[in-house]
Amino acid sequence: MEIEKSERLRTPMRSEIHSTLIVPRNHPQPVIRNPQSLRRALASWFHKAARDLPWRSTRDPYAILVSEIMLQQTQVATVIPFYERWLARFPDFASLATADESEVLSVWQGLGYYSRARNLHRAAKLVVEKHGGEMPRDPALIRALPGIGRYTAGAVASFAFDLPEPLVDANVARVLARQLNLHTPIDSTAGQAALWSIAGSLVPKEGARSFNGALMELGALVCTPRLPHCERCPIRKCCAAFANGTTASIPRKKPRRKQAELAEHCAWTVSHGRILLEHQTGKRWSGLWKLPSLPAAPDAAPLLAVEYPFTHHRVTLSVFAQPTPSPVRENLAWHPLASLAGVPLTAPHRRAIERLRGAIHLRGKS
């Protein structure tokens, strides 16, 4: 929440700043002076303020990997039920490795960004084939698995094995950028280099699990993107942005690319309690089902038009009533409307189908 005027924090005197940004002449990256005080203050706060999240109660590298993959571009509250459902069905690498892709996508359904599920499936197979079903401790070997980058490999190594690996996700980047009063865009090459350098200098040789968790938690709960709660921050005396009154403008990012407009025309073909769906084989939605594509918009009003984002695009999905095509293409199949919950549908098309079914049901009652 926004701080009332009477509660706003004064800008501290320079002598009160325990840790400030310094850039030595011959040093390519900024550093923080007296990181020990920052670690102590952060540890004390985390001990009291840490949320009780299910993946924090385990040291199982598989479960931690699942949580980290799910948390990519997805909020914690959304992830928790999916995480618990996933582990109930696929409790380890072996069970996931032997599953069919259709079942994997079905259990993942609702989280979106299905490439994450496919990569997790592929990673499980490689762990079983090359590492006997056990996650390797070496961060380099973890990073060699499909879909795992520098952050995720470090997170598994840190949270599962307590290895001193630095982590920079969106929350950590925001905290560190404000600590440094970093004016370089954090999504630029130079900005990323500065953040990873600082993260590497701060992570302790022992207790990395707790330190990295605390840094991420601070970004999630206190050092938030808008209206950061500086009055509750345990390391505000170490914060160069707070000292300079620039927390509202830090971190900076590169200008956003303008979204391109796309039109998607699809068919609504329903007969005898079944709906015709199209199986996807392309890179975008491989393995999923959607409403059948139409080459162009028919000369009629759509039953429904909805918008959804896709990378740097804004897509308008228009759905038109259509008869059964003749012949029915190989990638088309009938599915019972009553059983769609078990069909791995793309999220935008599932929402469109549910809205149309609801509208038709209401018209039938009137």
- Residue where a domain terminates, one of 244, 270, 304: 244
Q: Are residues 137 and 103 in the same domain?
A: yes
Q: How many angstroms from the chain centroid is the CA of residue 9?
A: 33
Question: Out of 59-63, 112-116, 138-142, 309-313, which region has the weakest mean confidence (pLDDT)?
Answer: 309-313
Which residues is 201 bridged to in the sheet?
A: none
81 and 134 together in one domain: yes
Pick the residue with more confidence: 9 or 137? Answer: 137
Please check whether residue 344 is in contact with residue 288, taking contact to mean a CB–CB distance below 8 angstroms: yes
The CA distance from 193 to 296, in Å, is: 46
Residue 361 has pLDDT above 60, yes or no: no
Nearest CA to 67 out of 49, 52, 51, 87 is that of: 87
Residue after which a domain boundary falls, among 216, 244, 272: 244
- Calculated CA dihedral for residues 325, 326, 327, 328, nearest 10 degrees: 20
Which CATH number do you get for residue 344? 3.90.79.10
Residue-averaged pLDDT of the chain: 88
- How many domains is the chain partitioned into structurally? 2
Q: What is the pLDDT of residue 168?
A: 97
pLDDT of 282 reads 77
Alpha-carbon gap, residue 313 to 249, rounded angstroms = 27
What are the C-alpha distances in Å from 57 to residues 61, 212, 247?
Answer: 12, 15, 33
**Residue 270: per-residue pLDDT:** 95
Task: Write down the pLDDT at residue 17.
Answer: 36
Confidence of residue 304 (pLDDT cuts 50, 70, 90): very high
For residues 281 and 197, state if they share a domain. no
Q: For residue 71, tell me if it sits in a domain.
A: yes
> Same domain for 132 and 232?
yes
Q: Is residue 141 part of a domain?
A: yes
**pLDDT for 202-213, tens place per residue?**
999 999 999 999
pLDDT: which is higher, 124 or 281: 124
More confident of the two residues 28 and 152:
152
Residues 203 and 133 in one domain: yes
Residues 59 and 142 in one domain: yes
Residue with tokens 């840094």: 215
% residues pLDDT > 70 (the chain): 90
Q: How many residues make up the chain in this entry?
A: 366
- CATH number, domain containing residue 26: 1.10.340.30
Mean pLDDT along residues 82-101: 97
Same domain, 174 and 279: no
Residue 327 lies inside a defined structural domain of this protein? yes
Catalytic residues: 68
pLDDT above 70 for 327: yes
Q: What is the pLDDT of residue 31?
A: 67
Residue 154 predicted with pLDDT over 60: yes
Whether 59 and 191 map to the same domain: the answer is yes
> What does the pLDDT average to over 109-116?
87
Long-range contacts of the stretch 16-23 (C-beta < 8 A, 24+)? 16/237, 17/237, 17/238, 17/240, 17/243, 18/237, 18/238, 19/179, 19/235, 19/237, 19/238, 20/238, 20/240, 20/243, 21/179, 21/180, 21/181, 21/240
Residue 252 CA from chain centroid, whole number: 20
The whole domain housing 205 covers 13-244
Contact 101, 287 (CB under 8 A): yes
Q: Is residue 278 part of a domain?
A: yes
Global confidence as pTM: 0.76
Q: Which residue has the higher pLDDT, 34 or 361?
A: 34
- Whether 335 and 198 share a structural domain: no
User: Which residue type does 358 have?
Assistant: G
Is residue 365 predicted with pLDDT exceeding 50? Answer: no
Sequence-distant (≥ 6) Cβ neighbours of residue 278 within 8 angstroms: 289, 290, 291, 292, 293, 329, 331, 332
Supply the pLDDT for residue 14.
33
Q: What is the pLDDT of residues 231-267, one digit of tens each?
A: 999 999 989 999 999 999 999 999 887 888 999 999 9
Specify if 214 maps to a domain: yes
Distance between CA atoms of 272 and 261, rounded to whole angstroms? 36
Judged by DSSP in three states, 27 sits in coil
Question: What is the average per-residue pLDDT within 175-203?
Answer: 95
Clarify whether residues 70 and 139 are in a common domain.
Answer: yes
Indicate whether 235 and 302 sit together in one domain: no
The answer to whether residue 228 sits within a structural domain is yes
Is 252 a domain residue?
no
Q: pLDDT category, 283, cuts 50, 70, 90?
A: confident
- Give me the pLDDT at residue 85, please: 96
Residue where a domain stops, chosen among 195, 214, 244: 244
Please report the pLDDT score of residue 286 as a whole number.
83
The answer as to whether 4 is a domain residue is: no
What is the pLDDT confidence band of residue 5, given thresholds at 50, 70 and 90? very low
pLDDT attached to residue 29: 56
Answer yes or no: do 211 and 314 share one domain. Answer: no
- Give 112's DSSP letter: -
Strand partners, 265: 318
